[in-house]
Chain A
Amino acid sequence: MPGLNLPPNLSPRAFDRFLKACAAVVGAEWVVTADDEIEAYGRITIPFDDGAHMPSAAICPQSLEEVQAVVAAAYQESVPLWPTSTGRNIGYGSSAVADRGTVVLDMRRMNRILDFDPELGTVVVEPGVTYQQLQDFIQRSGHDFWLDFPGPGPIVSPIGNTLERGHGVTPYGDHFAHSCGYEVLLADGTLFRTGMGGIQDTRSWQAYRYGYGPTLDGIFTQSNFGIVTKMGVWLMPAPAAHKTILAHWRDDGDIVRLTDAVRGLRLDGTIPNEGVMGNATIFLAATRKRADLYPDASKAFPKDLAIAESRKAGLGAWNYVFSLYGRPDRVESDWQEAKKRLEDSGASLIPDARDEQQVNELTLKSFALFNWIGGGGLAWCAPVSPMRGPDMQRQLEISRAVMDSHGVDFMVGTAFGTRSALNVMPLLYDRSDAARTASVRACYGELIERLGAAGFGMYRTSIGYMDQVAKTFGTAGIEVNRRIKRALDPKGIIAPGKSGIRL
């Protein structure tokens, strides 16, 4: 019964009017209020009760016109909407909502690939298009382009991941940087296109990102200022050759010299992709079960044991997988240069490694992390570090100390940019264990505080911590976002609480 879980400050009568208006637009079957279906929308892996982030309903439009009508009804009745694309922001909140009772605007049925330009290597997609669908489409076209996708690539969408400013592992790994041209619907019904998209009959919308005047794309990422209904994506031309390498360093203290070495290779372009670097524990978790290695579930997995097990498998304390792309002679030249400089930093190299994601092969192998402990609990904690060796070491040591104190296994997968690194840490736990869930919840909160006090901030966070993370970026930022929110969405109907942005 939808009335049991109403959006905040909304009367049952207004909510009922809204649902009826939506049913008239999308059809009654696409106004979802059944308890079992709503519970599925509210399923989370993060360490909070499902009920805390449970939506009241979900509306599933199949076109821009239907989204416009739903938003108009929401605006009329002041109903908050939580837009999702495929709703699989796993480890950050999935399709659940920040404020209990918010209505999910599920745009999965909007799954058209609207435009493909094989000369420029661009597509325009709707929110429900998945990377799998897009890859199938490109392969059927006979054109040779690669996609860059995140870990759960087959089942998630370019729009969803890009708007979260997610990353992949090829040279196009910064997804926001490789998006071009958004169509955005504002709460009052205004529909506009960013960049060159406002020019009538333009053929430049996906060619040039910045348009004229202020560049606005960024304010619609990790935000609640509007609903992105179309997005341009730049495609990577398939390289003539590629080579994937695994570099590993023996000792925990090697993090300083390896960071400095990789920074040099990233800055001068020798290594063109972010790749992924994992500590020993996260590499173990990709193939092993925790209980087989260390039965004490009350303590964090010991660092020394993780490194010892990693060495047995021919790896080290730090393990970095990257690729080289381009003409064969360029790949060979870059390989020789990378080899010399990484070996100078103490690395051992495995020159014939394999990572499907780095070579355009879709996979869900990252889900293997769930097998480490079992129980389905996962929260990604993702602080940014400048790519200086001592800063990386400091951030990782603070994180490890906090996680050790809560009995949470310290794992990190690092995406190396050129000047910054995203240290993406999965906090894994058994969601059926209430005490462990509480420990992980407290651990994550302390990580935000301790890292913030040390000058570090998160690149992204989950629905349970958005206000707390926003505070670490300062009150001025919160107030500027609030002013923009009031101007663009004066009733606050779009994604209340997203990134800590409220009226």
Chain B
Amino acid sequence: MKPLWRGPLLAITAGMSLGVAVATTAGAPQARWRGPEHIWRSSCGYCHGGAAGAPELRGAGLPPEMILQFARKGAPGMPPLHRSDISDAELRQLAAWITAQPDPRGKR
């Protein structure tokens, strides 16, 4: 059995070279995402990228439309993703990317 203390412990729970305060951005909001891999690494992949208890989505052969629906609606234990978080276009790209990925465990 895996020792608990080596497993997940629960918690309840720009380049600046000058040492001055610098306004880093102005005007329009930043584009939050830099492509589907960035979204995966920053959000979905924390749970669906091999963590115990959440299904591995890559290589699972899920239709992109199903991924899109789960993302927008959420699921037990998974918060929904709103349009203000990820646009329809970004979500479609993400779903297509996930579907196209091989199973990282090498399963077919």
Contacts and interface: CB of A to CB of B under 8 A. Distances in A.
B21 A203 contact: yes
B46 A115 contact: no
A374 B63 CA distance: 24
A315 B82 contact: no
A329 to B, nearest CB: 26
A167 interface: yes
Q: Which of B4, B42, B73 has the most CB of A within 10 A?
A: B4
Contact of A286 (B9, B72, B75): B9
A483 interface: no
A440 interface: no
Interface in A446-482: none
A264 interface: no
Interface in A105-140: 106, 108-120, 122, 126, 128, 132-133, 136-137, 140
A370 B53 CA distance: 9
Interface size class for chain A?
A: 35 or more
Given A40-B74, A116-B14, A350-B5, A108 B79 contact: no
B1 A364 contact: no
Interface of chain B: mostly helix, strand, loop or mixed:
loop
B4 A415 contact: no
A142 B15 contact: yes
With most chain A CB atoms within 10 A of its CB, the pick from B9, B47, B72 is B9
Nearest to A117: B21
A368 B53 contact: yes
A393 interface: no
A119 B73 contact: no
A94 B22 contact: no
Interface string A144-162: 0000001100110000000
Given A126-B29, A354-B6, 18 more contacts: A37-B82, A43-B74, A43-B80, A108-B85, A112-B26, A112-B30, A113-B24, A113-B30, A118-B16, A128-B84, A137-B14, A276-B11, A313-B5, A321-B9, A355-B9, A365-B8, A366-B8, A371-B53
17 contacts: A30-B84, A43-B74, A58-B82, A58-B84, A117-B21, A151-B12, A154-B46, A168-B11, A246-B5, A276-B12, A286-B7, A287-B52, A313-B4, A319-B4, A357-B11, A368-B53, A371-B77
